[in-house]
Copies of this chain bind each other. A is one copy, B any other.
């Protein structure tokens, strides 16, 4: 036994001794089968605890819990006020290497670590995950609740409706769209005078009745210190006429389905709309800025403000037109008032899960909500009665270099939080792809290199993992690599990954089989993560003193510079090339005053670069920016390296074709 492995054993022993403490959660026992049945079968076989019981175990008061059916509940935000004195628990970010289209198991690992910590090691722990879109649920065969023996249950409720948050997002998004188009219609057909008369009628006492929702616009135009009856015609005109340039409308409608027919549409074709047709399209609901706002809001008040700030178009004179200008901010917030409360569910082993927000990783931050994390960190936090820290395990969509970067530079910047440890999930399969293996595709048999040992190919591919580790370390956070075990892997292969990980500065690299064995399978990984999060690891040389962002947003760097920093430091590019369109947008946003915002990069997740075919660690290349768009309400600009599809389609054979329902309401064939 080497010296370091002796220390390792001792630390494991110390951590395991905590197990003697009574577990906070009543464990749901697993009856492991081999081969592992389908996710849905596993979910159905387990009887979840009533959610009120889970809430109690978490330390949530009855008055703070709003059950939605037997197994889901909303948690009121005032739990934060009650626990304000508590020190936060430990914050664990799960990210991944550059994946294959089959996925490398980030969600499964997130849930698996939580099951290990909570159900096996007796720790307070929360898995914080995104709510899946119903589009992919019915589009392809697959849910998003983890998988195998590490999943959120009941998986059908997790994958359909949940407590209605995505529906609220869709409604808020689409009310704003209807308000905008209707306003354009009415402005096109009415004089300033007629608009003034209708928008703000004269009341019985002779005063003007300005709807409350339009008061922010009154203020914006500096008209709030003058009696509306004394406004000049010019002032009235400025107030009532938004004068939207139809060409500049960026706000699209949304639907939470894979409906490709709605990608490009022409609206206003009914005779009642008098020929004011306009080309537009639908996005999937989770791609809505409203969803990003839900994820990034830090309070109800903050959400209200962000919703009002949404920019939907420009006026003909180039001024941004906001949700507030349309008088819609309050209504959108009202529609979202319950959606802002995080949803509590449980894992297959009965440990608590927060499911909240699900912004599309393609063009948004791809992370669950700040409020869920804040609440979970308090519930897992420490005070005189709870000296032993709990854990919040959450995930960043896509690979570390994209999802993790956004998590740290956008989500953490909004929340003021920073992770205590970053877990990077790697698989032998994906690393072999980076080492030159054949392309891996869904529903196709794997090439031989994936079903037998190939250490050379794997070693070569480990450069990809090493780049992600190095990238994560640039933020000053310790990294633990989770080797997500698959059936064809060999111990030698795991050792190759482990060595490469440590070489790149990871604190540890641990093989985990949570998919096949649940929390028990992730116990070693969980212990490594706990050690790292508690800084008990004997050697501290790999951890910087402080967490720091990759770039500043206080005006010290321009939009262009921020994009260049990300492309160079994260994507290994030599330079960035901005298209003429992107250059124009840079100028426009700079002029409109949107320079002090972080950047959300929109590119493929199948390469560290912009080209999905470039595996491993691409270098010596120029990263292209095709377009830049603004999510002012959410609080970021997003830079597109390519045309990103914002609403998926359905295949010839779809997931929905296998779904059936029994007399008892039991669903089959969903997954």
Known contacts A171-B256, A181-B259, A268-B264; decide if A334 and B659 are in contact (CB<8 Å).
yes
A17 close to chain B: CB less than 8 A: no
B265 near A659: Cβ-Cβ < 8 Å: no
Contact of A659 among B213, B269, B653 (CB under 8 A): B213
Q: A179-B656, A211-B658 are in contact. Are A334 and B667 (CB under 8 A)?
A: yes
Chain B residues with CB below 8 A from A565, complex form: none
Distance (whole angstroms) from the CB of A643 to the closest CB of chain B: 10
Stretch of A68-76, A103-111, A350-358, A458-466 that contacts chain B: A68-76
What residues on B are CB-neighbors of A618 within 8 Å?
none
Contact mask A631-667 → B, CB, 8 Å, 1/0? 0000000000000000001111110111111010101
- Among residues of B, the one whose C-beta sits closest to the C-beta of A278 is B261
A257 at the interface (CB under 8 A from B): yes
Pairwise interchain contact B164-A259, C-beta atoms closer than 8 A: no
The contact string, 1 if C-beta is below 8 Å from chain B, for chain A 41-81, is 00000000000000000000000001111100010000000
Contacts of A304 in B (CB 8 A): 661
Q: Tell me which residues across on chain B come within 8 A of A279, comparing CB atoms.
A: 269
- Contact in complex: B270, A264 (CB < 8 Å): yes
A337 close to chain B: CB less than 8 A = yes
A37 within 8 A of B: no
Complex Cα–Cα for A300 and B337 (A): 31
CA A64 – CA B304 in complex, angstroms? Answer: 37
Residue A198 CB within 8 A of the other chain = yes
Question: B657–A213 contact, CB under 8 A?
Answer: yes
CB < 8 Å: which of B70, B273, B657 contacts A212? B657
CB pair B174–A260 under 8 Å, yes or no, is no
Which residues on the B side are within 8 Å of A659 (C-beta)? 212-213, 330-331, 334
| CB-CB contacts below 8 Å: A197-253 with B | 198-201, 211-214, 253
Q: Does A262 contact B (CB under 8 A)?
A: yes
On whether the beta carbons of B300 and A272 are closer than 8 Å, the reply is no
- Shortest CB-to-CB span from A355 to chain B, Å, is 15
Question: B267 touching A652 by the CB < 8 A rule?
Answer: no
Bitwise interface map of A from 434 to 465 toward B, beta carbon under 8 Å scored 1, else 0: 00000000000000000000000000000000
Name the contact of A168 in the complex, choosing from B161, B300, B651 (C-beta under 8 A). Answer: B161
Contact (Cβ within 8 A) A174 B656: no
Whether B67 and A272, one on each chain, are in contact in the complex, defined by CB atoms closer than 8 angstroms, is no
Question: B656–A328 contact, CB under 8 A?
Answer: yes
Residues A652 and B257 in contact in the complex (CB < 8 Å), given A265-B269, A660-B212, A667-B334:
no
Q: Indicate how many identical chains form the complex.
A: 2
- Of all chain B residues, the one with the shortest Cβ separation from A134 is B171
Residues A338 and B161 in contact in the complex (CB < 8 Å), given A212-B660, A661-B330, A669-B212: yes
Other-chain residue from B262, B264, B653 in contact with A199 (beta carbon distance below 8 A)? B653
Chain B residues near A271 (CB-CB < 8 A):
264
**Which stretch of A182-190, A417-425, A483-491, A508-516 is in the interface?**
A182-190
A266 & B266 in contact (Cβ 8 Å cutoff): yes
A258 at the interface (CB under 8 A from B): yes
| A175 interfacial by beta-carbon distance below 8 Å | yes
Chain B residues positioned under 8 Å from A331 (CB to CB): 138, 656-657, 659
**When chains A and B are docked, how far (Å) is the Cα of A271 from the Cα of B263?**
9
Assess the A657–B327 pair: CB atoms within 8 A. Answer: yes
A195 within 8 A of B: yes
Give CA–CA (A270, B138) in the complex, Å.
22
Docked CA distance A178–B282 (Å): 12
Q: Is the CB of B337 within 8 A of A665?
A: yes
Chain B residues with Cβ below 8 Å from A338 are: 69, 161
Q: Is A335 an interface residue (CB 8 A)?
A: yes
CB pair B264–A265 under 8 Å, yes or no, is: no
**From A339, which residue of chain B is reached at the shortest CB distance?**
B161
Q: For the complex formed, measure the closest distance between the CB of A670 and the CB atoms of chain B, giving whole angstroms.
A: 7
User: Nearest Cβ distance between residue A10 and chain B, in whole angstroms?
Assistant: 49
Question: Complex: how many Å from CA A331 to CA B353?
Answer: 26
Instruction: Please tell me if A281 contacts chain B, counting CB pairs below 8 Å.
Output: yes
B residues less than 8 Å from A177 (CB atoms): 259, 261
Chain B residues with CB under 8 A of A654: 179, 182, 327
A164 to B301, CA, bound (A): 24
Indicate whether A333 reaches chain B with its CB closer than 8 angstroms. Answer: yes
**Are the CB atoms of B156 and A161 closer together than 8 Å?**
no
Which residues of chain A have a CB within 8 Å of any CB of chain B?
66-70, 74, 134, 138, 156, 160-161, 163-164, 167-168, 170-171, 174-175, 177-179, 181-182, 185-186, 190, 195, 198-201, 211-214, 253, 255-273, 278-279, 281, 300-301, 304, 327-328, 330-331, 333-335, 337-338, 649-654, 656-661, 663, 665, 667-670
What are 14 A-B residue pairs whose CB atoms fall within 8 Å in the complex? A68-B69, A160-B334, A211-B657, A214-B657, A260-B270, A263-B272, A265-B266, A265-B268, A327-B656, A330-B659, A334-B659, A334-B660, A337-B665, A337-B667
14 further contact pairs, Cβ within 8 A, besides A66-B70, A330-B661: A138-B331, A167-B170, A178-B257, A179-B654, A182-B650, A185-B261, A200-B653, A212-B668, A265-B269, A272-B649, A327-B654, A330-B656, A330-B658, A331-B656
Give the top 7 A-B pairs by smallest Cβ distance, nearest first. A264-B270, A263-B270, A211-B657, A330-B660, A331-B656, A264-B269, A167-B167
